[in-house]
Amino acid sequence: MNIAANLIRYNIVNRLRNRKISRIFSYALTANIFTTTARSNNKNQDNQTTKMEFDKEKLKERLTPLQYHVTQEAGTERPFTGKYNKFHEKGTYVCVVCQQDLFHSDTKYDSGCGWPAFNDVLEQGKVKLLRDASLGVVRTEVRCSKCDAHLGHVFGDGPPPTKKRYCINSASIEFIEPGTTT
């Protein structure tokens, strides 16, 4: 869906809300607007992922309490505390829950935000972008497209060429060195 279509639907929804027409109807309209797939500059693959589901109790056993809180409860680690914030090795970052490749170190940069920042995803379709108004501010949440784990948020203030800043919790990713398989 293109930006113009999203803006038109967004304006319709706001008009409906302003007129106090049924919230159910306005929420039904917004359901499709903000669920999109992140686009990468890598156009070589049309990545189709199959959604994986994990038993919550087994995840609690496998993940640390912080990893579980961040990925399953949409939590956030404290800024400047994550192990990958000032980490500069070459390799790939994968989802801590399902091991899907998400980001490459070539797109990682120091944004000063306190969390690892990337300006692009590894491949098209690796993450889902969702509208998040949980803190009274509208942001764009980033989730793994394969297992729906919360990863962080994306902002439009990153470096060229994408001008995106994927602000990702260290607790939601693992680093894989080149030549190592997950």
Q: Which residues are the active-site residues? A: 167
The total number of residues written for the chain in this structure = 182
Q: What angle do CA 49, 75, 38 make, to 5 degrees?
A: 35
Minimal CA–CA distance to 172: which of 60, 86, 79, 70? 70
- Alpha-carbon gap, residue 86 to 127, rounded angstroms: 23
Residue with tokens 């491949």: 123
